Amino acid sequence: MSTTIEPLASAAALAASGLFSTYLVYETPDAWTVAGDIAAEVVLGPRTVRCTKGGVTVERPWQGDPLVEVREFLEGLELVDWRAYGWSAFELAYAVAGRPAGGEVLLHLFVPRTEVRLAGGLARLRSLDASGLDAVEKTLLELESEPRGRPGPVDVDIEAGADDYRASVGTVVERIHAGELQKAVISRVVPVESEIDFPASYAAGRRTNTPARSFLLDMGGMQSLGFSPETVVEVGADRRVASQPLAGTRALTGDADVDRKLGESLLSDPKELHEHAISVKVAVDELAGPCKPETVVVDEYMVIKERGSVQHLASKVVGRMPEDASPWDAFAAVFPAVTASGVPKHAAYESISACEERERGPYAGTVMTVAQDGSMDAALALRSAFRRNGETWLQAGAGIVERSLPEREVEETREKLRCVADCLVAHGDGRGAAVRESRLCV
């Protein structure tokens, strides 16, 4: 069907409509997709895997590589042209590495009953239920082109935990000087006391951010929205693989001259250049595993990408896997992103566990899609807001290397937190923000 409402507004409105008890909105460079309700589902926990298909749910223990369970479940689906959507926790990396992994959920994927793809003035609908198609079409036709209210800002104390974070930076620098590792990405949690309208906040935030991917989800008691600065892995149906490490950060002020000078300082700062270079080297080494080694190249090196309230040094590493490879081979090779963990990764895990008081869960994991044709797209879950078990929070980190200074790293987390904190909408204060008509974000 054709639509005059921009894809962002349509996607956010479908999420807010109540049509779906489970949903995930995922933006790629060419479209927004809304996946709603569950046709099949796999939920991987620290000790068990729960699989649902054909209306039957089975839960059993898993051993060894947990991704084998996920891959076998998806390959056994009797659905035509399926695509699964979901998220993975940072701690999934621990399970894949054979380390103890805590948390409630390590990975949650579902194949939707209804799928809506929004791009170029068209909405492409498909559903296992005729009633699902009718309900979506009716909702899209009834969308308003003008907002019904103005977003109400939410106060967020981005200084929460700053003193402890400074101490953590000092601890990691000491470990680096001792030769234990080269880099660790340490994060801090900022609580949000207000009740957040996630669809309205997503719409408001996407208008002020320039992400590589964006997402909005409500799955199994987890709500999240985010404006991902980079992809962890992209796999095409032709087995072409890409990873996009971003490391090195400066603020974006809105003043073109100031921002240009900050970008120039980013390109000349030895600390930032070192942090970025070692991240790219790790990405190359990791992709050389699942890919044909001669195909792995740095396709783009150390360019500046603007991501909301910050700018980053960015590179792109690409390769091609053999025909018999699975996208999960590429995922396992690069996950978690080196830009959200450290170098070497196992040593970084020790520093993360020592310095961070809680498990990360979805933070620094991925929001992802994977399809029957062998394609996969996994976005790094940063610049995000999360809600689970009655708690809402933001989280941001910085890459700590030998030259890191505690105050500068705290400021970097502030810069990243503002990408989300400045656009949060209190529940009930701006529901109409999700349906504003504009062509700017198509």
Asked if 230 is an active-site residue, the reply is yes
Helices 7-16 and 130-141, interaxial angle, to 10°? Answer: 120
Q: Pick the catalytic residue: 230, 272, 286, 356?
A: 230
Amino acid at 28: T
Contact 247, 402 (CB under 8 A): no
Within 10 A of 300 (CB to CB), how many other CB atoms are there? Answer: 13
The span from the CA of 32 to the CA of 25, in Å, is: 7
250: exposed, middle or buried (Cβ count in 10 Å: 0-12, 13-18, 19+): buried
299, 304, 321: which is closest to 239 by C-alpha? 321
Residue whose C-alpha is closest to residue 13's, from 192, 211, 216: 216
As a dihedral over the C-alpha atoms of residue 369, residue 335, residue 288, residue 370, rounded to 10 degrees, the angle is -10
Helix crossing, 162-177 with 345-355: angle to 10°? Answer: 140
User: What tokens does 175 get?
Assistant: 């470990």
Whether 228 contacts 383, CB under 8 Å = yes
Q: What SS3 state is found at 77?
A: coil
Mapped onto helix, strand or coil, the DSSP state of residue 14 is helix
d(C-alpha 89, C-alpha 69), whole Å: 16
Would you say 128 and 136 are in contact if contact means Cβ atoms under 8 Å apart? no
Contacts of 103 (CB under 8 A, 6+ apart): 46, 89, 91, 359, 361
- Phi then psi for 424, rounded to 5 degrees? -70, 140
CA distance 227 to 225: 7
Q: How many CB atoms lie within 10 A of CB 294?
A: 9
Between strands 231-235 and 83-88, the pairing is unpaired
For residues 22 and 86, the answer to whether their CB atoms sit within 8 Å is no
- Label residue 213 exposed, middle or buried (CB < 10 Å: 0-12, 13-18, 19+): buried
**How many helices (H) and strands (E) are present in the chain, helices listed first?**
11, 20
C-alpha 434/C-alpha 30 separation (Å) is: 20
DSSP one-letter code for 78: -
Q: Which residues are catalytic, by number?
A: 230
